[in-house]
Structure 1
Amino acid sequence: FQLEIAAIVHMAGSCLWVGYEYPEFQGQQFILEKGDYACYQAWSGNSSYRTEHMLSFRPIKCAKHSDSKITLYECEDFMGSKFEMCEDYPSLQAMGWCSKEVPSIKVNSGAWVGYQFPGYRGYQYIYERDRHQGEYRCYNEYGTQAHTNQIQSMRRIQQ
């Protein structure tokens, strides 16, 4: 099975993929960039969640790294204070976000991955302009495994 994952990622060329723990794009998400994934630690990285298998995959459409832009909102449905980002942030709180939570998100361009904890650790959530029209009105739209709106670090997905 690990060879299949490596083959998918290598066949993609410059394309990036998201792998899901279960069929039909369900369960924990894992970003797969070009490279080798010899064991589950290679795709789960600093995640506090470990799974030894991925059962469905789909490509991610990215913008140029310099064109990526995302807006974080203080409340669900794009309400409250907002903060626009164009850079990677290993700690949202260090950049001025006053909460450990991000209740709603709009992706203006590109694709992003949000992490549950600072330093790009914990659960991963993929946010794309080309999915949901780039609108994530509440945390349960972040993915089927999302049980909280806790997002503490974010980075652009490179093309």
Structure 2
Amino acid sequence: MGYNDTIRSCRTFSYTSEGPYRMRIYERPNFQGQMMEFSEDCESVQDHFRSRDVYSCNVLEGYWTLYEHPSYRGRQYFMRPGEYRKFSDWGATCATTGSFRRVTDIRGSCWKPHSLKVMFPPLRQIIFYEDRKFGGQHYECMSDCADLRAVFERCRSIRVESGMFVIYERPGFTGTQYFMRRGEYSDYMGTAGMSHCVRSCRMIPAHSGGYKLRLYEHFDMDGEMMELTDNCPNLMDRFRASNFNSCDVMDGHWLVYEQANYRGRHYYLRPGQYRSFSEWSGSNSRIGSVRRLADL
């Protein structure tokens, strides 16, 4: 298995032996570049995908295991349904993917009990409660959810069991947003400055690589550019500027704040290009401070 130490965590999962199974792999991060969709096992990725580098993946249905080498050999990674915008999101240290196969019934011929040796990304969980102080019915979530109206009508308190999340006042990851780390939020609406209860949420995936963020004076990544690789509590002191109209998140996950010292309204930035402040849901171009989202 290649462990340097004893096992420290494990995860159970619900499997199906009947399917369906569907997964899309991409040659670039953030679901860019060539895409191929699979519904069956693939013994050699290079035979189908012109290369062995898979930088992002969207598991639409079923559970899968990715292997670093062809013929289901080498280090392996367990994939649940969800979006993986970069190979580090599924726990890999590089983009090399040699083969993958469906996780079917472990009692059948596809899997033997002793062969299920998969590497799991850290568990993340947020719980939404109907009433304040964690009362009433609740809903557990461990991934992105674009529209929470389908699962509850109201939410008055939230508990983050593990990981980091961003909640949004409107469906589709829009409206006022608020960053949440592990902890209890018995009356989050007042703290977050929301007029309505949470309607969508986004899970912040683990990130083990570097951090790089470029802020631009003008729209469309034009004008003077300032690059950051670490937290900055006061952009005015450092760059003599506080208005940035576009941004390129090259690596890592970040929060940008309207005011210095990590105060005021804030916005979650994933890897990608933001050609206007409106693309990160900002109402203006002001940014007072920036910090990395380390996996807390």
User: What range is the shorter-chain TM-score in?
Assistant: 0.7 to 0.9
Note if 1:108 corresponds to 2:250. yes
For 1:16 and 1:99, the matched residues in 2 are separated by 30
Q: In structure 1, what is the Cα distance between the partners aligned to 2:246 and 2:206?
A: 20
Relative to 1, partners in 2 of residues 1:62 and 1:111: Cα closer, same or farther, differing over 3 Å?
Answer: farther
**Aligned residue pairs, count:** 142
2:288 maps to a residue whose letter is Q
Structure 1 equivalent of residue 169 of structure 2: 21
Give the structure, 1 or 2, with the largest relative contact order (CA under 8 Å, sep 6 or more). 1
Pairwise CA distance, 1:37? 1.2
Tell me the SS of whatever aligns to 1:67: coil
Aligned equivalent of 1:125 = 267
The 1:105–1:62 alpha-carbon spacing in structure 2 relative to 1, beyond 3 Å, is: farther
Q: What is the identity, as a one-letter code, of the residue corresponding to 2:258?
A: Q
User: Mapping of 1:72-111 within 5 angstroms?
Assistant: 72-95=215-238, 97-111=239-253
Summarize the alignment of residues 130-141 of structure 1 with structure 2, pairs less than 5 Å apart.
Answer: 134-141=272-279
- Per the alignment, do residues 83 and 62 of structure 1 end up closer, same or farther by CA in structure 2, a change over 3 Å counting? farther
Say yes or no: does 1:61 pair with 2:205: yes
- Between structures 1 and 2, the one with greater helix share: 1
1:34 is aligned, of 182, 188, 193, to 182
SS of structure 1 residue aligned to 2:183: coil
> Which has the higher mean CA deviation after the structures are superposed, 147-156 or 21-30?
21-30
Change (3 A) 1:148 1:76: same
Instruction: State the Cα distance separating 1:88 from its structure 2 match.
Output: 0.8
Pairwise CA distance, 1:42: 8.0
Letter aligned with residue 182 of structure 2: K
Q: Give the letter aligned to residue 247 of structure 2.
A: I
Q: Distance in 2 between matches of 1:122 and 1:17?
A: 18
Q: Which residue of 2 aligns with 1:47?
A: none
TM-score, normalised to structure 2's length? 0.45
Post-superposition shift, 1:43?
5.0
- Contact 1:61–1:128 (CA under 8 A) maintained in structure 2: no
Matched, 1:6 2:155: no
Shift of residue 135 of structure 1? 0.3
Pair 32,43 (structure 1): closer, same or farther in 2 beyond 3 Å: farther
- Structure 2, unmatched stretches of 5+, are 1-129, 139-156
Task: Give the 3 Å change call, closer, same or farther, for CA 19–83 of structure 1 in structure 2.
Answer: same
C-alpha displacement of 1:41: 6.9
CA-based RMSD: 2.0
Separation (CA, whole Å) in 2 of partners of 1:68 and 1:155: 10
Contact 1:21/1:56 (CA < 8 Å) preserved in 2? Answer: yes
User: Cα deviation per residue 1:62-92 (whole Å; 9 max; x = unaligned)?
Assistant: 423x711111111111111111111111110
Counterpart code for 1:67: G
Are the counterparts in 1 of residues 158 and 188 from structure 2 also a CA contact under 8 Å?
A: no
Q: What residue number does 2:46 align with? A: none
